[in-house]
Each structure stands twice: as structure tokens, then as C-alpha cells.
Amino acid sequence: MRKRVVIAGLGDSGILAAVRLARHADVVGISVKDGLVSGQELGMRVSRPHDWARDYFIGFRRFRGLDPARIVHGALTGADLDARTVTVVAADGTETIEPFDVLLISTGTTNGFWRRPTLQTADDVAAELRDTHERLAGARRVAVVGGGATAVSSAGNLARTWPDKLIDLYFPGAQILPGYHSGTQVRVAQRLAELGVRLQLGHRAVLPPDRDEITTGPIEFSTGQPDADVDAVLWAVGRVRPNTAWLPSEILDDDGFVTVTPELAVPGHPGVFAVGDVAATDPLRTSARNGGGALVARNILAQLKSGKLRRYRPPSVRWGSVLGPQPDGLEVFTPWGQAVRFPAWTVDRVLQRFVVRRQLYRGVRD
């Protein structure tokens, strides 16, 4: 008898797991969006939304691997892990109970306007993409606050799309991209300078209560610098909040993330797993990348067949693309700080169409 696997959250990690499980179990995917709205490549999303939507905003029924699955568009409001059910509320207020044999928690985190657990249709997402782009297009001076990959990518892509704008990147540290190899830090800083981004290091901004939105200036600093008068502020400060209010507190750590074993299983609750940004695998919660979705799918199938589960091993250093796809190609940094460049023609034809859509996502319809 086929088991029912409920996947709570169909972001990047949830989709990667779902397309691997749907042929072997009765998969029910629950999502607040009615398609994949990836949290990746914010810089591309805000500066070139049409290009971003082509690869990162994909309706669920375009995924061939989801054909056998049932998709529920709604918000999770509760879970009874002993009774093995979750509660879902649709946009019209209708409440349903979904039973499960296996539960995969992949509800992600809230992190600014681009990652929020709000119920949205495809039209809602498209309108938000357009409004954000137009808001930034109309600003003469834009500030990006933060020094991680999301902030750096945003500043770089904004500068490349609108070279006539003044783009400032404010960061409290002495070097951008903490956690990356020093070679990567230096190379990306040089690239930002070439694009005209002004690095304002040593500036710790006072965070406003509405930092999940694009705000207007001025920006205040707690490090003594004068206020910065800007037209638009994009806050990418890494203050993520897990989307776990619907879960019992007993499976959460002190910060609200889901406690997991190295096998991505929730201790004390057989058949419950977690993956992605919501899972407390390591300080950086890296199972959102590095094959976490595929690994947890394999472990779920192994548990259903009484097989051996594999351990997730977090990388010791951050690596990968920082600025994302550009008109002249894609630059990916190794864990040792070396840059590997892919020509522009390979990004769509090879990386997206073959590696991502065919290999990772198991087939995506045009």
C-alpha cells in the first residue's frame, strides 16, 4: 500500500524532494504560492524581473515530476504529530485536515519582501515583481544594506541594469561576503567597483520596523556616520525568521528552527523530516542548497523500505555564484576562492535547460 507523504512548503527544497517522491508515494504538496517562487537571485529579480521569472517563477503543473502529486494552495496553521495530521486554511477561509504517513517540513524562512509566507496567486506575484522593479527604476540613488551574497548580488545587478544610478552598499564589517574565501571576497569587491557600486564598509545601519519592505531614506547609523539620504533602501541584512508558527514548539530550537538529526529527521517523531532554510542542520542551515532536497527524498524512501539513511554533511565554507547570471555569462566561485566562468550561451542552454530543469527538477515543460 502506497504511503502518503505530505510536503509542507514547495519552495526550492520542497520541489526538489517532491519530484523524487511522487513516483513512489502519494505526495500532497502544500504551498502558499500556486507555483515555485524561488528565493534565489534577488539581484536578478529586482533588476531584470522578466529574466528572473523565466527560471525562478514556475507554475507547479509545468513540473513533469509533480504530475502524480496533489497540490494544495493554502496556509498551514497547525500540526498534530501524534495524530499525524496537518491543518491547512485556503484563501477563502476553508479549513482542511491533511493526514500523513510521512511529513516533510520545508516551509522556509521570512527574509524581506521577497520571501514571505503570504497566500499569493501567480497574478499577485507578477504584480509584486512589477511594482518592485518600477519602484527601484524610479529611484536616482539606491542603498543596499547588508554584506552577504543577497545584498552584494542586489547592488551589483542594480548597478549593471541602471549604470546612471548611484548605488551604495552599506555593511558594518571590514569585508563583504563573510564566510566566503578571501579570494572570492576580493574578486567580487573588484567586480562591484567596476560596476560603480560604492562600498560603504564599517556602517552599521539602524534597522527600521518596516525593513521587510523597500523604504525611503534617510538611513541612520549607530557607528557615528552622518545619515544617508537616499531615494530607496533595499534591506538585505540576513535577519531571517523561520516559518514555523504552525508547528509544536517541542520540535523547534531556541530560534524557532526545526531540530533535525544529521539524516534530516526530526528526533522523537518517526516519519517527520525537515529540509532547507527551516531545518537547523548547521549555523548557516545549508541544506537549502548542497543537495539537501535530493538527500531528504532518498532518506524518506529508505525509511519507508526500512533501509539505511544517509547523513547530511554541511560544507565548511560558502561557495557558488554571487552575482548570478549576467549578460556576459555566469561566474561561480569554488570553496578555495577560484572563479570558474561559464559563457553566456551555456547558462540557458546547458545549466538551466539541461542541468536544472532536466536533471534537478526531473523535467519542466516550456
Rounded Cα gap, residues 283 and 287, in angstroms: 11
- Tell me: pLDDT of 124 over 90: yes
> Is the per-residue pLDDT at 102 higher than 90?
yes
How many Cβ atoms are within 10 Å of 111's Cβ, its own excluded?
Answer: 20
Q: What is the pLDDT of residues 249-269, one digit of tens each?
A: 999 999 999 999 999 999 999
Q: Which region among 77-91, 163-177, 318-332 has the lowest average model confidence (pLDDT)?
A: 318-332
How is residue 360 written as a grid cell?
534537478
At 274, which amino acid appears?
A
Closest to 325 (Cα-Cα) out of 296, 305, 349, 294 = 349
Please give the helix or strand (H or E) that residue 54 lies within, else none.
helix 49-56
Domains defined for the chain, CATH in brackets: 4-122+240-318 (3.50.50.60), 129-235 (3.50.50.60)
Q: pLDDT digits over 175-187, tens only?
A: 999 989 999 999 9
Read off the pLDDT of each residue in 270-295 and give the average, rounded to a whole number: 94
Tell me how crowded residue 76 is: count the other CB atoms within 10 A of its CB.
25
d(CA 247, CA 263): 20
